[in-house]
Structure formats: structure tokens, C-alpha cells
Amino acid sequence: MTFEFVNSSFDMKSYFHIFFCFIILNSCSSNVKECDTRDAMVVSARKEASEIGLMMMKKGGNAFDAMIATELALAVVYPSAGNLGGGGFMVYRLSDGSVGSLDYREKAPIKATKKMFLNEINEIIPKSSTYGALSIGIPGTIAGIFRVHEKFGSLPIEEVFKPVIALANNGYKINNKQSERFKKYLPEIRKINSTNSMYSREYKAGDTIKNIQLANLLIRIMQNGPDEFYKGESSKKLIKFLKSKGSIISAKDLEKYKAIWRTPITFQYDDLKIISMPPPSSGGICINQIMKMIEPYDLKKLGHNSSDYIKLLVESFKRSYADRAVYMGDPDFNDIPYKKITNQNYLSKKMKQFSFQKPTPPHEIYSTNTEIKESLETTHYSIVDPFGNSVSATTTLNSSFGSKLFCDELGIFLNNQMNDFAIKSGHPNIYGLIGGEINSIQAEKRMLSSMSPTIIEKNNNFYMTLGTPGGSTIITSVIQTILNVHEFSMGMEESVNSPRFHHQLFPDVIKIEKNKFNDMLLIDLENDGYDLEIVTPYGRVDGILALEGCLEGGSDNRGNDYAIGF
Ligand code: DON
């Protein structure tokens, strides 16, 4: 983990780590909870974004000012996922204990139709929902941050925007992981953008990228408010660009877009109160279902990442992902039977045929089959302010660089979130997730998400904020991180970096992170009837844990994520 205590150049985490390793020789990575900071913290995918977020709180601003600054800074320095051309979700908890959530998820355009990605014989038109103009949903990020500012912002919007504008003008240095990502997607980006488009060039690690058009767009938005993006000069530029690429998004679509405050999903697990994202995310409900399915078991006794622990979690994951496909979609278009599917009797019945001896066959849980996967990108950040407010936000273009369409005049990538709909009943999206009518495409509907920004309370106090990218794996990564802390007494850093596994019913395999589990355990699971798929490490959980009078950050070492505080 990278952690910085501001005004201090030495790496406090490493110092403590070496110290602990020295005195507790054989447990140097285990159950060490370290105070990083006392009052405030930001953990995000990039140092610059965490720093700008923290700067807001140093100026006297709150977690919401920091959220806006961090979200915008990620659009500058982390353009594969940070965005103005995408959307996201935010969960908050105020110092008085009140909670809420904001949905700034993309919507389908007015002209969208159920079969827009199918040909005359009902086959999916390859790549149509993932690449290029038709894959774009109406962006929600600018509406989202202004919703946040009008309700909770304490600094003038100029103070929040200015450092981000400076960052876009002065540029940021790309790191190794980013340069690899740019290289990987360059052919696709080049193919649908002009050759002199800024991301059609090849960048090496260490190069500085300035995004002057984005800086100018941010200046206009700062001066004219969200209408600039949805109704003003910039919206006209965006519509002109989208039309030229064959998009069905109209000026009316932008005009009508609204971010929506929603009541979060809250439930009790032992002495924790979990607060997470409601539909149109499946995150909160699935986390609720899964944690309630496993609550009756003694997880400590099973042992962290033991074969029985993995089996129990995997079987609960499978049952919840089946319900995800059947019952979850945009709540403004469907009645989601939340009470029914989180009822304890209902969940106990689902777990009735669970056995540590053998896997439950998928057809006994759900009756379709499917398989597909791809490489992905989203980003999460967590914030705690000195006033006791906390924020958990996940934002995305969906795939890396979204649709790959880059609007040069505005300096932004556009999302490919339309693929999160069930574009054909029972057909998997890029994460292998299936869905039916409830998540079918309809004009102005929001596509179902797995993003799970989550906050946890213990004894009526703030305890934890966390979330992660990772498509369908988001839900299971968030749950394992919570359990690592709560059941296995890990600190936040150890918890986010701990090995992870995943199952989503279809395909019927346990995804296991490569080189992180011992071979005997894997052989045991296979002998007991599980198919395994060894995958490269996935997700980047960024979280903050409250310790006695201080905070511990966890920034996932699978990325270049960065925690900073004071
Ligand atoms: O909303 C969703 O569930 C997806 N569009 C999130 C994509 C994602 O996490 C990609 N990240 N690696």
C-alpha cells in the first residue's frame, strides 16, 4: 500500500510494518492494524486524485467537497475509468448517523429499443453494445457532482474545480501500468478516433499528458453550472460529435438527465450495520442476501480462505447471482421485491440444499447456461472528513476507456454502459452476467450495475468505507474484504490485499486469483467437484477503517492506488 501522512515525506506504513515484522517474527503480515492518520483520509486509484480530495478538507471543506474534487481529478489522471462521460454511485453517512445514496448512473437514450443490438434474425451484432456510438448511455457524472454540491457542498464550486483545472492544464505523468493499458487499447482507440486525437498517440511511462480541452470544459462548467454540459454550448458540441459518429443520443436526452437520491440498502450483520447501494445497482441487495445466507455459520471456525469457507461463500454467491438475473433492474421501471428476497426464511430455504460435500448444480439454482469474459475498468474511492462524514463512491465508463470514442473538443471519453443491459434475454454481458426482461433495454431506463460503494457502522459509529471496480466481481470482493476485517481481525490494508475468489453461477467455475492460494487447497476443491479458473488478480478495493481515535487506509496493491490523510 502507498500511504502518505501529509507534511511528512517518510513512508509511515513501511516504517510500522518493518517494526512489527521485527518484533513479531512469524506474523509479519497478519492482523496488524496501523493508525495512518487521525482526522481525514482519501483513498483512490491515483495519487493526484487523493491529494486534490484531501486538499479540499485541508481548506476546511467536507467529504462531499473532497468527493467532487476526487471524482473530477480521476477524469483527468485516470481516463480509462475516471470520467465526465460516464456515471456512478455514491453512498454517504453523515456525522449524525443519517445515510443516503446518489444514483448518477447512465440512462438509455430515448431512441433506444429492446432489440437495438440484434440483427433481423435476432443475433447479437458483434461489439455493437461495447464499442462505438451505440454503446453509449447518457452520462451522469456532472449531474451527480452538482447534486452533491447543492445538498452538502461547503466550499464554493470554484474552489473545488480550480485545482482540477490546473491539473488538466499542467498535465500528469503516466505510470507503467497506465502506459501498458494505453498500449493495449490503442488499436481500438485509433480505429474510431481521428489520428491526431490526443489518445490516438502512443505514450510511454513518464510522459506527461495535458488535457487542455478538458480544462476548458471544466472552466465552462464551473462558470455556468451543470446546464453547460446538459443544455449549453458544451452539450451542443457533444451532440454534434455523437451524431457524426452515428449515436442516437439527442439534445433532449441530455436535457432530461437527472441524478437521483435513493434510499440505500441497510441491514444488520452481527453487530455491524451495512449501508450499500440500492437498485439500479444489484450491489446492496446481493451483499445483503449473501451475508445473511452465511451469517448462521461460524466463519472463524471454518478458517480464512479454507476449503469449507470458500465452499460456503461460493454457494451463497451462486444463489444470489441467480436472483440478480431474475429480480433486479431499474427501480423506476420495475418493482424490485427487495423485502421478499432478503427475508431470512427465503434465504434459509435457498441454502437448504447447501452441503460442504458437493456443489449444488447450477440448474438446481437457475436454468440457463452461458460463458464470456473481457478485460475491464472502473474505479472506487473512499473518503472520511474531520467532521465525521464519510463517502464511498464508484464511478465508471464500464470497459477501459468505455466505448473508446473520445470527444476531442471536450477532452472526454464516452462510456459503453449499454452493455450492462440484458441486450438479449439470457445472453451474458461482458462480465458473463445474465438477465432477462427486468433488465431489458427501454428508452430512458438505467442499466443494472454491480457497483457496491458501501459504508459500515459499528456501535452507531462510522466503522468502514469501501468499494472496488471489477464488474461482476465487485460484490464478492466487497464481501470478502468486510469479512476479513470483521471475522478475521485484519486491518484495512491487509484486508484489501488479501487473496480473493469469485463465483457468479454462470460460468460454473470458481475464479481463483493466481499464485495466491496453495495447491493443496485447490486440489481439495477440485476433488470435491468444483471447477476452478485461475485468473490474474482482479479488483482494486480502496477502503478506510476506523480504529480507536484514528483511521487506517487500505489502498489495493493490485493497482497504483493511494491513501493520504491528516
Ligand atoms: O456497473 C457495473 O457493474 C459495471 N459497468 C462496472 C464495470 C467495472 O467495474 C469494470 N471494472 N473493472
* Ligand 1, pocket-test mutation among 450, 472, 536, 540, most atoms within 8 A of CB: 450
Q: Identify the sign of the CA torsion 357, 358, 364, 370.
A: positive
Distance 300 CA to ligand 1 centre (A): 31
Contacts of 147 (CB under 8 A, 6+ apart): 102, 104, 259, 261
- Please work out whether the CB of residue 135 comes within 6 Å of at least one atom of ligand 1: no
Q: Burial code of 292-308, b = ≥16 C-beta within 10 A, e = fewer? A: bbbeebebeebebbebe
Q: Residue 17 C-alpha to ligand 1 middle, in angstroms?
A: 33
330 Cβ inside 6 Å of ligand 1: no
pLDDT score of 372? 32
CA of 151 to the centre of ligand 1 (A): 27
DSSP for residue 446: B
As averages over each run of 10 residues, the pLDDT of the chain (566 residues) reads: 54 43 37 86 98 98 98 98 98 98 98 97 96 98 99 98 98 96 97 96 97 98 98 98 98 98 98 98 98 98 98 98 96 97 97 97 75 61 98 98 98 98 91 93 98 98 98 98 98 98 97 97 98 98 97 97 97
Say if ligand 1 is within 6 A of residue 87 CB: no
Helix (H, G, I), strand (E, B) or coil at 181: helix
Give every strand in the sheet of 265-269, ordered side by side: 265-269, 272-276, 454-458, 461-466, 542-547, 550-555
> Which atom of ligand 1 lies closest to the CA of 105?
1
- The residue contributing the CA closest to ligand 1 atom 8 is 471
Within 13 Å, how many C-alpha atoms sit on residue 65's CB side? Answer: 26
Choosing from 281, 431, 472, 556 the residue with most ligand 1 atoms within 8 A of its CB, the one to mutate for a pocket test is 431
Quote the ligand 1 centre to 321 CA distance (angstroms). 15
Distance 316 CA to ligand 1 centre (A): 21
Could you tell me if the CB of 449 is within 6 A of ligand 1? yes
Residue nearest to atom 5 of ligand 1 (CA): 398
CA-nearest residue for atom 4, ligand 1, is: 471
Question: What is the rounded CA–CA span in Å between residue 491 and residue 511?
Answer: 24
- Closest CA to ligand 1's atom 11: 377
Residue identified by cell 447456461 is 369
Q: How far is CA 242 from the centre of its chain?
A: 26
Closest CA to 181 of 563, 561, 559, 471: 559
Distance, CA of 457 to chain centre: 20
- The amino acid sitting at 349 is K
Q: 106 CB under 6 A from ligand 1? A: no
* CA 468 to ligand 1: nearest atom: 9
Q: Does 435 sit in the ligand 1 pocket, CB within 6 Å?
A: no
* Ligand 1 site, residue 451, Cβ cutoff 6 A: yes
- Please indicate whether residue 377, judged by its CB atom, sits closer than 6 Å to ligand 1: yes
Q: Are 103 and 331 in contact (CB under 8 A)?
A: no
Q: How far apart are CA 536 and CA 400, in angstroms?
A: 16
Distance 470 CA to ligand 1 centre (A): 6
Q: Which residues are catalytic?
A: 378
Q: Report yes or no: 394 and 452 within 8 Å, Cβ to Cβ.
A: yes
pLDDT at 377: 75
The count of residues in the chain is: 566
* Of residues 484, 460, 455, 472, the one with CA closest to residue 556: 484
Calpha distance 97→115 (Å, rounded): 44
The reply to whether ligand 1 has any atom less than 6 angstroms from the CB of 447 is no
∠ at Cα 134 (128, 140), nearest 5°?
A: 130
The pLDDT of residue 83: 98
> In whole angstroms, what is the distance from residue 89 CA to residue 105 CA?
7
CA of 335 to the centre of ligand 1 (A): 24
How far, in Å, CA of 510 to CA of 532, rounded?
Answer: 5
Query: Which residue is associated with the grid cell 428508452?
Result: 443
| CA atoms in the 13 A half-sphere facing the CB of 57 | 27
Task: At 430, give phi and psi (nearest 5°).
Answer: -65, -15
CB 398 within 8 A of CB 413: no
Peptide bond into 507 cis (omega under 30): yes
336 lines ligand 1 (CB under 6 A): no
Alpha-carbon gap, residue 254 to 464, rounded angstroms: 35
Q: What pLDDT is attached to residue 376?
A: 54
Q: Is the CB of 378 under 6 A from ligand 1?
A: yes
CA of 411 from ligand 1 middle (Å) equals 22
The DSSP output letter for 394 is: E
Q: Looking at 272-375, which runs of residues are DSSP E strands?
A: 272-276
Residue nearest to ligand 1 atom 2, measured at CA: 449
Q: What is the Cα 406 distance to its own chain's centre?
A: 22
Please report the pLDDT score of residue 28 as a whole number: 35
- Would you say the CB of residue 280 lies under 6 angstroms from ligand 1? no
pTM to 2 decimal places: 0.95
What three-state secondary structure class fits 330? coil
Q: What separation in Å is there between the alpha carbon of 379 and the centre of ligand 1?
A: 8
103 Cβ below 6 A of ligand 1: no
In ligand 1, the atom with minimum distance to the C-alpha of 447 is 1
